[in-house]
Structures are given as C-alpha cells and as structure tokens.
Structure 1
Amino acid sequence: MQIVPEPTKIIPESSLKGKTLLLPFILICTLFFLWGMVQNLDGILIPHLKKACQLNNRQSTLIDTAIFLAYFLMAIPAGMLLKNFGYKNSIIIGLLLATIGAALFIPAANTMAYTGFLGALFILGCGIAILETAANPYSAILGDPAGATTRLNLAAAFNGLAAFVAPLVGAIFILSGKEYTAAQLKAMPDASRSAYLLHEASSVKLPYGVLAATLAVIAVLFFFAKLPEIKNVSKEPSAGGSLLGALRHRHLSMAVIAQFFYVGAQVCVTSFFIRMAKQGAGFDEKTAGYYLAIYGFLFMGGRFIGTFFLQFIKSYKLLSIYSVIAVLLCAIAILGKGAYVVYCLGAIGFFMSIMFPTIFALGIDGIGDDTKSGSSWLIMSIVGGAIIPYIMATVIDLNGDQIQIGYIIPLLCFIVVLYFGMSGYKIRKSLI
C-alpha cells in the first residue's frame, strides 16, 4: 500500500546547488521495492503458515492484522519521527526496525511459534510504515518541483515491480508443493509429522534472512551516503485544521470509509488467492503461487494503463467503472469453477490498481487547511487491511472452509467504493 505524501511547500537547502541527486533517488527507489516485497509476500505467507502451523482461516489472517495494525499505530509516530530527526535518520531507523523484524523470522521458524511470526511481522510493519512516511515525500521533493510527480511515479513503479517479484520468490523458495490432508497428517508417525511441519516452517528462513541482510546493507548505505536534507520553509501555520474537524467535509469522511473498505478488499483478494486457486480451479500450490505473481504483474500494468486513461476520463468516472467491473469479477469468481476463476482474480488486480490513489486524491480535493489532517485520516484508514480479511476468514470458517463464498466480502467492499465514485466524492457544504 502506498502512502501518498501530503502537499507542503518545501525547497532544498541552498547547499544542494551543484550536487547530483541521482544516487539519493536510486536509494529511495530501493526502499519502494523493499517494502513492496514485504507487503506482497503476505499472499504467500498466509496459506503457507496456515499449513505449517496448522491454523484455521481466522488465525492465518492475523498475518495481515499484524502488518496493517502496525501501519495504523505508526502513522502519527512516524510523522513525529520525521519532524524531529529528518528524512535520512528516519529512513535509517525504519530500515533497522524492519531488519530486526525480518531477522526474527529465523527463531520463529526454529520454534514453530506462530506468535513469534506475528511479533516479527508487527515489528517489520512498523519499520516499513516509517519508510513509507519518509520516502514518499522525499522522492517527490528531491529535485526540481516540476518533476515531482514524475519522480514519485517512477519510484512507485519499483513498488509495483515488487508485486510481481515477491510472489515469484515466495512460490520458488517458500512453497514446497507438499500437502497432506488432516487425515493423512493424523495417520503419520509423530516424528514424521513433526519433521514435515518443521521443514515447512523453516522454508521462510532463507527469503526473510536475505531480506533482513538486504535491509541492513541498505541502512549502512544510507548512513554513509551524503543525502541532502530537505527542510520545510513554509511560513504558513503548520497545524492546519484539527484532526477531528477535518471530518466535517462529507466527501473526505466518505473517502476515509471507501479507503478502509478498498484496502480491506485488496488484502482479501491477495491473502486468499492461492487457496482460491487451489479450491476453485484445482491448481496445485506451486502453480497457484506463480499465478499470484501474474496477478502482481497485472496490478502493476493497471497503474500505468489507468494513469493513461485518467488523461481522458474523469477520475470519479473511471473509479466507478472499475468498481462495477470488480464487483462482476468477484461474482464470477464466487459462482464459477475452473481456471477462469483464477483469471477473474487476476483481472481484479488490474481494476483495483488505480483505486487507492484515486480515492485519496478525491478525498482531499478542496479541503484547504484541513488537507494535512485529511491525509492523516486517509493513511490511517489502511487499517481496513487488518480487519476486513479477518471478517472474510470468519465467513469461510463458518461455511465449512469454502473459500469461494468468502469472496462475498471483497464484493461488498467494492460496492462501497462504487458508491463513493458515483456520489460520495462530491464536494458538498461542510457538515458543521
């Protein structure tokens, strides 16, 4: 999930004259890729740890809860950290925190402790929340203001690339392809069953160990790199409107609700993608993992194509069109059988691609001094990714582990987004 920088008047320090900004920008792009890897490995991790730790669906979605709850809780502290320590130091702190979180996967795997995995994910989530809070605005303001949008979109492309690479890495190095039914596991000798489950849990150690090492190396590079610090020179009051007062704008309040349900829908689709592909289409675990990578590729491509369409179609209209299509695709995925169920899920990724930034932009449109507070609300609404998947898992567990029926939850979420695109976005008189 990409946190969108808040509008602010900033200029580089005068000492930046003559200095190249290419190296700092390259380092920032690596951050977009790395947190994209963390987020998009969840689609692999949820079905894998469900198997390795013998979990029900609700327990497995606590992986999403750990990550997105960290985003919610760190939204304001990360901003305070940025204000007090600057961009470079905040990024280093975020990288070190994420390094610790990724490294803790190794002892969690050795002990097969699911709570250990959740703790590691929460720490990892706190780290990448800091990185997003710092890196998004830093990439936008690192250079000529006229090129801010181009720089941010270019950096975000690396985040989209990770949506393709992460599932591919997970399918190759984490998923074993070996699966047993509950009856088969029960029939195994205790030693054989324990060895199998330990082997499954241990497969996360290599990719997350490499991730931890990479995060640590990038932190060292940031420490020694001569990065320009950007300071806010705006003479306007920094407080803007109050946090609660911003919600008097009806379209902002509706955007917060729509964003909550959109993020929840996106996380639901990816979290249950592999199990849906196995149950609805009859794919094996490895093949399902590769199709999740294709989903990521379509999501990335959708951002570029959607950006092109936005030059000719008003954003709220495109959001409404995409929402209708997403609802229909969910319905087909729920009712259908065979490979086209998976094709529908991949297509949903394409049509979801523009929803987050479009809702964000429409939500803060025309709210003036409340823009900063409104942005904070929209960022905190990411907590939908911690709550909605648990609701979907509950529906699945209550219906005899039928994954397809669970997709009624993202379908309903897209209906909320559709309402926002058709009516909720409209700027009306303040509520108070």
Structure 2
Amino acid sequence: MASISPILANSPAAADTGTQPRYTTALSAVTTLFFLWGFITCLNDILIPYLKAIFQLSFAEANLINLCFFGAYFLVSIPAGKLVARVGYKRGMLIGFAVAALGAYLFYPAAAQRVYGLFLGALFVLASGITILQVAANPYVAILGPAKSASARLTLTQAFNSLGTFLAPLLGSALILSNLPKLNTAASAATIDVTAVQIPYLVIGTALLLISLMLSRVNLPQIVPATEAVSAVDDRSTRAWHYRHLVLGVVGIFAYVGAEVAIGSHIVSYLSLSSVMSDILIYVRNLAANLGLQRFINPQNTEEAAGIMVSFYWGAAMVGRFAGAYLLRKFSPAKLLAFNAVSAAVLILISINTTGVIAMWSLLAVGLMNSIMWPVIFPLALSGLGRHTEEGSGLLCTAVVGGALVPMLFGVVADHSGLRLALLLPVLCYLYIVWYGLRGSRHTAAA
C-alpha cells in the first residue's frame, strides 16, 4: 500500500500545533460542487438517447457527446492545473463555475437551431468549466484535513457527487426522455420537443451562478501543499510525470472513467433490447407500484423506463461511497480498490451471459463497485508529490479523456458486434485497475 501522508506533510492540518484545525465549513462548501457536477455529468446518459433520436445517430455518432464532454478534460486539465496554481483553489473554482454556466446557457440556442454541432460545442464549454472545478476541488479536499484520512474524506465528498448522478436520470428521464416519440423515425424525430432540453440546462446554468455567488462569500482557508518536504524516492524528480505511481494512476483514472461512462451511457440502449429485458416498461411500472411510487414514477415509453433504471447504477455508487468512507478507514485503500475492480469485471461477465432481471441488476450493480475507484486512485497517485500536487492533479484530470475515448470505441464495437460484446471492453479496464491497486500504486522512482 502506498502511503498518502507525504502529500500533506507540510499542510496546516498536519503541522504540530497541538490542535487540529477544523475545516467543516470549507469542506461542506466544496461538497456542493461535487453534487452539482455529478448531476451535470450524468445528464449525458439521458442526453445521448435523446439526441440519438433527434438526429438519427449511430452508437458511434452519439458517443461524440462523450468525446466532446470528456475530451475537454484532456485539453483543459493541464492549463487548469497551472491556473489553479497561480490564482488559488477558491478563485479557480469560481472561474470554473462561470465557464460551466456559459456552457449550460449555450444549450438554449443549440436546441432552438436543432444543430448537433452546436450541442457538442455547448457540451465542450460546459465540460471545460467542470474540468477547472475538478482540478481545483479534488486536491483541495485531499489537503483539507489529516493525511491518513484523505481517501476516506474524498470518498465522502464523492458520495454527494453520486447523489447528483442518482437524481439526474430520474429527473432527466421525466423531463427529457418522456418526450421521445414512440416511433424512432426521421419523421417522428422532427416532432420532438426541444424545450425538454432547453429548460433543464437553463436551470443548471442559473444554479451554477448562484452557487458561485455563495462560494465567493465563504471564507475558505488557504491551504498550501508541501513545497519542500518530499519523500526520498522523489528527490530526483523535477516534474510530476517523473513519479511512476502517478503515471500509472493516470492510466488507472483513464480506465476507470472510460469503463464507468461506457456502461452508464449505454444502459438505456442495453436495457431496451428485447434480448435483455423483454418488457422493461412493464417491469418498471410494477416496480414503482410495489414501492408505492407509481404517482411519481410512471414511464411512458421503453427509453424512459430504461432511463429510470440508470439511477440505480449511479445510486449504487452513492451508497458505495458512503460505505466506502467508513471502510477506507478500516482496510487498505489499494486492496479495497483491487477487490472492487475484480467484482465489477465479474458482474459484467454475468450480465453478458444472462438475460432478464439477472442481466439487468448485475450490470446496474457495477455502479456499487465503481464507488471508491476515483477517490482511491486519485490520492494514491498524488501521494508524495509535494510541490507537484497541482500539476499531478491536472495530469490525473487529463486522464478523464477515457470517458471520451473508451465509449467511442465501445460504440464502434456495439455498431458492428452488438452491445453485449462491447461490454468486454470495460472488463479489460477493470482488470488494469486490479493490477494498479495491487502493484502499480507502489512508490517506485521512474526510470
């Protein structure tokens, strides 16, 4: 297991002052950011089938949505890391909010013009703002407290990120997918109500600005990562990418985000297959009735019913992160990461080889296994970086481009060989994460 302590060796929380500083207010403020970008990111899972229907897209073409959204991480993360290092965590987050709000507002003219390219451009701007927020907030949470609890603390804040991803499919399905016509043809696509996507993103843009205003009034403590004390193995390094465990962690983030997004973005299409769920519309209606929620959950078509089930995928991640915040205080983060990755691969293989409720619930349960992957890989990879922490955070966030490239490859395989075979791609991603947890996260100087 790689130690996380060196990241925080010189932070105020770790200093020998006789008392531990309390950062409850600051941590609560930053946690709201995790909730909001979880909500925004997960709306892509609803946006993909919606735009696929409007523009009659193939799976590969529909995944241009993920390419533009997560591609922004690849292009913006390193400049964002330099920006945050220059202006500080708080100002970096405020800039991120402003850029993200602009992207959300651009959805209004994009929908009015019914031009796919404008949608993609709006998504890129929105994702650029989210990227700046990610680069600023993730290391800030890691530094904001005792070093030994960095993984647990980041897992707890990520749980609120998962709360956003849980709510987004429910609201998105009701507001967006319910407006899809029963016949998926070019003629019926022309009748789709574009205000279904305009209004939600106008609300999101306004919420981003309001939270930015509130954050500007919160007194966030100035936390500076260690600038001098670095571990002996790192003394020969001059840049962040000289740390082997960071470079391998970048690949780990790439694999994790790629697998998670590839699955989440195609659950609606997967569960809509008659070979997987013979009638998911009836199943979801009966499930809502059994839970006494029929007044709130009453899907009108197959896509909306499948979209509702996406909330269980992300909801499982939320439950797993709350549980993980406790478990990571009891068990080795690296070993728990490997266990979850093995479990995710097994669950996908079960889904591929079964049908009906087993195929559905085994795939949805992968969300539970995903729960701790980001908040464990991130601090493991940043461990011992000292003055290179911001640069390392930028590199790690750059790896979120996996959410663009892996789903694109997934879509190509799905177009040619079907969704079941395409699910083998996430299995390969999880197998790498198993190796990273067991071996790759160990501190070893780069050659």
Instruction: State the 1:392 CA deviation.
Output: 0.3
For 1:222 and 1:31, how far apart are their aligned partners in 2? Answer: 10
Q: 1:306 to 1:85 in 2, by over 3 A?
A: closer
TM-score w.r.t. length of structure 1 = 0.83
Instruction: State the 1:147 CA deviation.
Output: 8.4
Instruction: State the 1:319 CA deviation.
Output: 2.5
The alignment partner of 1:55 has SS state of: coil
Which letter maps to 1:110?
A
Equivalent residue, structure 1, for 2:312: 294
Q: 1:25 to 1:116 in 2, by over 3 A?
A: same
Unaligned runs of 5+ in 1: 13-18
Instruction: State the 1:406 CA deviation.
Output: 1.5
Instruction: State the 1:143 CA deviation.
Output: 7.7
Q: 1:6 to 1:65 in 2, by over 3 A?
A: farther
> For residues 129-148 of structure 1, what are the structure 2 equivalents within 5 Å?
129-139=131-141
Query: Is residue 238 of structure 2 the alignment partner of residue 246 of structure 1?
Result: no
Equivalent residue, structure 2, for 1:380: 398
Q: 1:363 to 1:233 in 2, by over 3 A?
A: closer
Contact residue 74 and residue 400 of structure 2 kept, 8 A = yes
Query: Is residue 388 of structure 2 the alignment partner of residue 394 of structure 1?
Result: no
Q: 1:89 to 1:275 in 2, by over 3 A?
A: same
Instruction: State the 1:148 CA deviation.
Output: 7.1
Contact residue 100 and residue 126 of structure 2 kept, 8 A = yes
> For residues 312-351 of structure 1, what are the structure 2 equivalents within 5 Å?
312-351=330-369
For 1:134 and 1:312, how far apart are their aligned partners in 2? Answer: 28
Equivalent residue, structure 1, for 2:7: 7
Deviates more, 1:158-167 or 1:417-426: 417-426
For 1:269 and 1:398, how far apart are their aligned partners in 2? Answer: 17
Deviates more, 1:259-268 or 1:317-326: 317-326
For 2:24 and 2:44, how far apart are their aligned partners in 1? Answer: 32
Query: Is residue 253 of structure 2 the alignment partner of residue 259 of structure 1?
Result: yes
Which letter maps to 1:38?
I
Query: Is residue 410 of structure 2 the alignment partner of residue 414 of structure 1?
Result: no
Equivalent residue, structure 1, for 2:440: 424
For 1:150 and 1:252, how far apart are their aligned partners in 2? Answer: 19
Between the aligned residues of both structures, percent identity stands at 35
Equivalent residue, structure 2, for 1:75: 77
Equivalent residue, structure 1, for 2:292: none
Contact residue 327 and residue 411 of structure 1 kept, 8 A = yes
CA offset digits 1:35-88 (Å, max 9, x no partner): 111111111111111112211111111111112111222222222222333333
Equivalent residue, structure 1, for 2:224: 232
Q: 1:288 to 1:6 in 2, by over 3 A?
A: farther
Q: 2:213 aligns with which of 193, 217, 220?
A: 220
Which letter maps to 2:259?
A
Which letter maps to 1:286?
E
Flag the structure with more relative contact order, 1 or 2, with Cα contacts below 8 A and sequence separation at least 6: 2
Q: 1:318 to 1:149 in 2, by over 3 A?
A: closer
Q: 1:310 to 1:215 in 2, by over 3 A?
A: closer
Equivalent residue, structure 2, for 1:209: 202
Q: 1:359 to 1:87 in 2, by over 3 A?
A: closer
TM-score w.r.t. length of structure 2 = 0.81
Query: Is residue 237 of structure 2 the alignment partner of residue 269 of structure 1?
Result: no
Query: Is residue 122 of structure 2 the alignment partner of residue 126 of structure 1?
Result: no
Q: 1:143 to 1:409 in 2, by over 3 A?
A: closer
Instruction: State the 1:426 CA deviation.
Output: 4.2
Unaligned runs of 5+ in 2: 14-20, 281-301
For 2:383 and 2:90, how far apart are their aligned partners in 1? Answer: 30
For 1:312 and 1:22, how far apart are their aligned partners in 2? Answer: 22
Deviates more, 1:234-243 or 1:60-69: 234-243
| Count of residues paired in the alignment | 408
Instruction: State the 1:350 CA deviation.
Output: 0.5
